[in-house]
């Protein structure tokens, strides 16, 4: 058989911890020496650095080499060892099918005497691939067990990127970033949307840890991450207190999760243009008023309208201009912030906080029950049917408790605002719409709008009947 004129060198390493590529460079150097010894001409080098051959993930250069083999661009292959080529028996069989279809008979390895052109050589190659697969599986089990042990001990999971608020050791708190995180939590629990908060971070030029722009998905992932409450998470479950300082309390973390759960269940969105969305009722039929805009003399006119028809169900006979009504009710809310009545309402927050603690304890207890059931099933103390029957009522109880916790979080919008109506009035215009909406909604349950006098453009305060929250 003539020697290959267009041989390929393939090199791979699973983990390049230093990021220098020295591991694959050594493989290529040894393959070049073997090619020179054999008198083979090397046409190309295919390198997959820092990629596993056992995980099943795509290896771009390996796939390119197979394609070039199939297209007849390569007539020989040089690899340092068979476990650099593959660590999965099924993948070895695919490689053998490709070289057989391409009529390539020259495949050599620097380490080992594997000869794929003979039946004995194929047997050795298949045994080596099986051994390599077993080694990788054993390593994966050891790594998984190590991760589980680290989680149980509360050690931080160290990824390639440090978490916002912590230094590169994943444990030491960065005071400036921690203050930003606490601000985000406070504003989110007060009713501000993640979209608004992401915009604020970008406007203030607060950098992410990677230097990219903030997005709502990035922000949501950060807000719901239990590590900020000092909890170590493993496979989606908090398993132990973390060996680092928390930035927020566990109660705040629970409230964040409840807030997101409430948004998902209710489907409510932050208002885009209308301050009083969802808070107005028709004085004629009691139906909810909907936001609506129309153009008058070339200018847009925002309105709240009682809409008729099958999709809305109102009487269709009431309308009020949005701008004067929003100014009137915002002024009423700011005034109420300084009244003794609101102070009396907020004096009841101690009982609300006690309820929050009670619900949090209930959540922890039921979560522990689920963990105990899972461990009992894992030990074989109970069978699958018993486990399923036992966990169903606990899961139902967890869902109910989570909903109750969500219902009492709306008062967070007023934290620190009682008695500040006069000062807040001057800063009202600088607040974004979602923050304004959250404050108004925390004070007003709803407002009933009565019929107006035809032709009168000024809002008559007598049309507005406010139902305050208690």
Residue pLDDT, tens place only, 376-391: 888 888 888 888 888 8
R_g of the chain computed on alpha carbons: 33
pLDDT at 53 over 90: no
What CATH number should be reported for the domain holding residue 94? Answer: 3.40.50.1390
3 or 416, which is more confident: 3
pLDDT at 10 over 90: yes
Residues 234 and 296 in one domain: no
In the predicted model, what is the mean pLDDT of residues 129-133?
A: 72
How far, in Å, are 98, 100, 470 from residue 93 at the CA level?
9, 10, 72
Q: What is the pLDDT of residues 252-291, one digit of tens each?
A: 888 888 888 877 655 555 556 888 988 999 999 999 999 8
Find all residues with CB under 8 Å of 309, minimum gap 6, and list them: 316
Does a structural domain hold residue 437? yes
Does a structural domain hold residue 165? no
Q: What is the pLDDT of residues 349-372, one digit of tens each?
A: 444 556 667 777 787 788 888 888
Residues 328 and 463 in one domain: yes
Domain limit, last residue, from 266, 300, 328: 266
Residues 248 and 230 in one domain: yes
Residues 116 and 201 in one domain: no
| 257 touches 270 (CB < 8 A) | no
- Which residues constitute the domain of residue 430? 280-338+419-468
33-47, 272-286, 317-331, 453-467, range with the lowest pLDDT = 453-467
| 126 touches 92 (CB < 8 A) | yes
Q: Which tokens go with 236?
A: 């989606």
Residues 28 and 110 in one domain: yes
Domain limit, last residue, from 212, 232, 266: 266
In the predicted model, what is the mean pLDDT of residues 2-29?
A: 75
76-90, 207-221, 273-287, range with the lowest pLDDT = 76-90
Find all residues with CB under 8 Å of 284, minimum gap 6, and list them: 306, 315, 317, 318, 451
What CATH number should be reported for the domain holding residue 217? Answer: 3.90.1750.20
Residues 327 and 424 in one domain: yes
Strand order in 444-449's β-sheet?
Answer: 280-282, 444-449, 464-468
126 or 149, which is more confident: 126
Q: Which tokens go with 311?
A: 């999709």
Residue 370 CA to residue 396 CA, distance in Å, equals 12
Residues 39 and 128 in one domain: yes
Give the global pTM. 0.46
Does a structural domain hold residue 42? yes
Residues 425 and 404 in one domain: no
Q: What is the pLDDT of residues 297-330, one digit of tens each?
A: 667 788 899 998 777 788 999 999 999 999 999 9
Does a structural domain hold residue 355? no
Residues 95 and 223 in one domain: no
Residues 408 and 433 in one domain: no
Residue 322 CA to residue 296 CA, distance in Å, equals 14
At 387 the pLDDT is 82
Residues 130 and 249 in one domain: no
Does a structural domain hold residue 39? yes
Domain limit, last residue, from 219, 239, 266: 266
Q: At what angle do helices 60-70 and 89-101 cross, to 10 degrees?
A: 30
User: Is residue 100 exposed (0-12), middle (13-18) or buried (19+ Cβ within 10 Å)?
Assistant: exposed
Number of compact structural domains in the chain = 4
Does a structural domain hold residue 1? no
pLDDT at 159 over 90: no
Residues 315 and 409 in one domain: no
Does a structural domain hold residue 144? no
**What is the percent of the chain where pLDDT is above 90?**
21
Does a structural domain hold residue 354? no
**Measured CA angle at 244 (ends 239, 246), to 5 deg:** 85
Q: Which tokens go with 70?
A: 């199939």
- How many helices and strands, by DSSP H and E, does the chain display? 15, 12
At 383 the pLDDT is 85
| 302 touches 467 (CB < 8 A) | no
At 318 the pLDDT is 92
């Amino acid at each position: 058989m003539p020697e290959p004129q267009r041989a390929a060198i393939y090199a791979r390493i699973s983990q390049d911890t230093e990021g220098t590529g020295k591991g694959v460079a050594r493989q290529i150097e040894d393959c070049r020496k073997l090619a020179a010894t054999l008198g083979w001409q090397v046409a190309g080098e295919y390198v997959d650095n820092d990629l596993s051959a056992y995980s099943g993930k795509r290896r771009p250069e390996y796939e390119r080499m197979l394609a070039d083999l199939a297209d007849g661009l390569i007539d020989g292959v040089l690899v340092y060892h068979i476990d650099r080529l593959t660590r999965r028996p099924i993948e070895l069989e695919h490689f053998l099918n490709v070289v057989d279809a391409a009529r390539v008979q020259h495949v050599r390895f620097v380490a080992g005497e594997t000869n794929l052109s003979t039946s004995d050589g194929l047997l050795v190659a298949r045994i080596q691939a099986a051994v390599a697969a077993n080694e990788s599986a054993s390593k994966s089990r050891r790594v998984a067990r190590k991760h589980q042990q680290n989680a149980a001990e509360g050690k931080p999971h160290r990824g390639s990127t440090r978490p916002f608020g912590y230094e590169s050791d994943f444990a030491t708190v960065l005071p400036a970033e921690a203050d930003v995180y606490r601000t985000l939590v406070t504003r989110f629990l007060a009713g501000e949307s993640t979209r608004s908060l992401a915009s604020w971070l970008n406007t203030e030029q607060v950098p992410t840890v990677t230097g990219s722009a903030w997005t709502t998905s990035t922000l949501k992932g950060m807000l719901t991450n239990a590590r900020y409450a000092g909890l170590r998470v493993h496979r989606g479950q908090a398993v132990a207190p973390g060996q680092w300082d928390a930035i927020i309390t566990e109660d705040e973390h629970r409230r964040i999760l409840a807030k997101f759960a409430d948004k998902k269940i209710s489907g409510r969105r932050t208002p885009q243009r209308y301050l009083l969305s969802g808070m107005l009722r028709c004085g004629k039929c009691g139906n909810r008023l909907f936001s609506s805009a129309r153009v008058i003399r070339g200018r847009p006119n925002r309105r709240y309208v009682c809409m008729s028809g099958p999709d809305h169900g109102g009487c269709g006979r009431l309308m009020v201009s949005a701008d004067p009504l929003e100014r009137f009710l915002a002024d009423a809310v700011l005034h109420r912030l300084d009244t003794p009545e609101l102070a009396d309402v907020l004096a009841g927050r101690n009982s609300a906080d006690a309820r929050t603690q009670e619900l949090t304890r209930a959540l922890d207890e039921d979560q522990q029950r689920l963990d105990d059931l899972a461990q009992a099933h894992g030990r074989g103390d109970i069978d699958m049917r018993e486990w399923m029957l036992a966990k169903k009522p606990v899961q139902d109880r967890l869902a109910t408790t989570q909903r109750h916790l969500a219902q009492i979080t709306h008062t967070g919008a007023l934290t620190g605002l009682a008695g500040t109506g006069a000062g807040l009035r001057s800063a009202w215009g600088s607040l974004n719409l979602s923050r304004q909406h959250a404050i108004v909604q925390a004070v007003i349950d709803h407002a009933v709008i009565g019929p107006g006098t035809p032709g009168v453009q000024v809002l008559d305060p007598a049309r507005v009947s406010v139902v305050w929250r208690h």
